[in-house]
């Protein structure tokens, strides 16, 4: 059996590599409500020193995490090196998000779908372009599990 890259279901080593390499994450479906996962997960990424690009057409005109909220991934400026797209949208809404990421984000390395979100066809399109895909997981859970809390050293 041959291994494919990126793997269909990333193992802990792959997740650790993805998380360690996150520098700029577009959070699609971000919320301005601190009680919602689409806000507090983005806030956790921001606390870890990761640049968070908030994406939600209903919040355009606001600023979150020190950034202007964008209507969609096509609005990400060309000089913003988004390496990960974190998706907080229902599964039927995933394909256009993945397609926009593939079309407009040249530094893209990872598509991340939050807990409860899977879309195999969209994931396959991303993998075919060499993009890693994480489905049905949360970076706020995976970071401390694999890399510790912000500022904590893992040996």
pLDDT tens digits, 35-69:
999 999 999 999 999 999 999 999 999 999 999 99
Question: How is the chain split into domains, by residue range?
Answer: 12-145
DSSP string covering 24-92: EEEEET--S-TTSHHHHHHHHHHHTT-EEEEE-GGGBTBEETTEEPBSSGGGS-TT----EEEE-S-GG
pLDDT in tens, 96-110: 999 999 999 999 999
Both tokens assigned to 111: 């598509």
So what's the pLDDT on residue 116?
Answer: 95
Both tokens assigned to 110: 């990872």
DSSP conformational letter for 125: H
- Which contacts qualify for 148-154: CB closer than 8 Å, 24 or more apart? 150/47, 150/48, 150/49
Cα–Cα distance for residue pair 62/101, rounded to 1 Å: 22
Q: Report how far Cα 153 is from the mean position of its chain's Cα atoms.
A: 23
Cα–Cα distance for residue pair 32/87, rounded to 1 Å: 15
Taking a C-beta distance cutoff of 8 angstroms, is the pair 16, 147 a contact?
yes
| Whole-prediction pTM | 0.91
For domain 12-145, give the CATH superfamily. NAD(P)-binding Rossmann-like Domain (3.40.50.720)
Taking all residues of the chain, what is their mean pLDDT, rounded to a whole number?
Answer: 92
**What percent of the chain is predicted at pLDDT more than 70?**
91
């Amino acid at each position: 059996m041959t291994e494919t890259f990126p793997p269909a279901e990333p193992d802990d080593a792959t997740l650790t590599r993805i998380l360690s390499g996150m520098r700029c994450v577009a959070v699609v479906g971000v919320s301005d409500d601190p009680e919602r996962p689409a806000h507090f997960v983005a806030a956790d990424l921001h606390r870890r020193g990761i640049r968070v690009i908030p994406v939600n057409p209903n919040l355009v005109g606001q600023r979150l995490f020190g950034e202007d909220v964008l209507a969609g991934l096509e609005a990400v400026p060309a000089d913003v090196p988004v390496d990960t797209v974190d998706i907080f949208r229902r599964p039927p809404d995933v394909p256009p998000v993945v397609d926009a990421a593939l079309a407009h984000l040249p530094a893209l390395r990872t598509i991340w779908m939050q807990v409860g979100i899977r879309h195999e066809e969209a994931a396959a399109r991303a993998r075919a372009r060499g993009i890693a895909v994480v489905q049905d997981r949360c970076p706020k859970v995976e970071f401390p599990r694999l890399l510790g809390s912000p500022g904590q050293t893992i040996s």
